[in-house]
Amino acid sequence: MSGKHEHKNIEPEQVQESTTKRRGEGYLLLHDVVYMVAIVTLVFTFVVRMVGVSGPSMTPTLLDGDYVLVQSNFTYKNVEVGDVVVMLVRSYDDQPIVKRVIATEGQTVNIDFWEGKVYVDGVLLDEPYINNYDLNPYQTTKDYALGMEYPLTVPEGKIFVLGDNRDHSADSRYADIGLVDERCILGRVMLIVWPFSEIGRVK
């Protein structure tokens, strides 16, 4: 056996072919990454959004610091009573707020501020989702409801919203928020996605 190693000569054409192949694979990878980023961007713009909850107004349904997946207003068109929605309200410097829809256009809302009860079209709401509250929780609320007359009928294109934590929620009871224009809705809350221990559908 010969102790000499045989060296295989690599032709310049082979080097060029190998380089071209690697460049082609790199371009394909870049194309795939750009394509996926574009899809994710479109999904999170037109289909769903991620929103952080700030404050205690939706306790116990949503807690301060929760992150929720929101169905975008591009696909969420039919607002229904009971939906939890994210909105932009001018009195909050266009910061998103999260509330529950209590009544939609054409429905009549009445609030017993002494008993803390809400009626829609004359029917007392069954609200298992609200936080336990002290006796007469709406007493101080009435002091802020300047310009709000009850019972009130929700006009076309508006909604009446309340927080689930009625003792600590600025909502449609307050004149500076009042009836919210449906065009201010960013979307409907579907899921809690953070913290992981609380992942689940919002009711």
Q: What is the dihedral of CA 63, 66, 69, 75, to 10 degrees?
A: 50
> Of 57, 158, 169, 172, which is the active-site residue?
57
Annotated active-site residue 57? The verdict is yes
Residue indicated by tokens 């003792």:
167
Strand-pair partners of 68? 51, 192
User: Cα–Cα distance between 78 and 151 in angstroms, integer?
Assistant: 24
Choosing from 54, 99, 158, 203, the catalytic residue is 99
3-state secondary structure of 183: helix
Strand 185-194 to 180-181 pairing: unpaired
What are the beta bridge partners of residue 187?
Answer: 72, 86
Cβ pair 52, 65 in contact under 8 A: yes
Q: How far apart are CA 15 and CA 21, in angstroms?
A: 10
Residue with tokens 């509250």: 133
Catalytic site positions: 57, 99
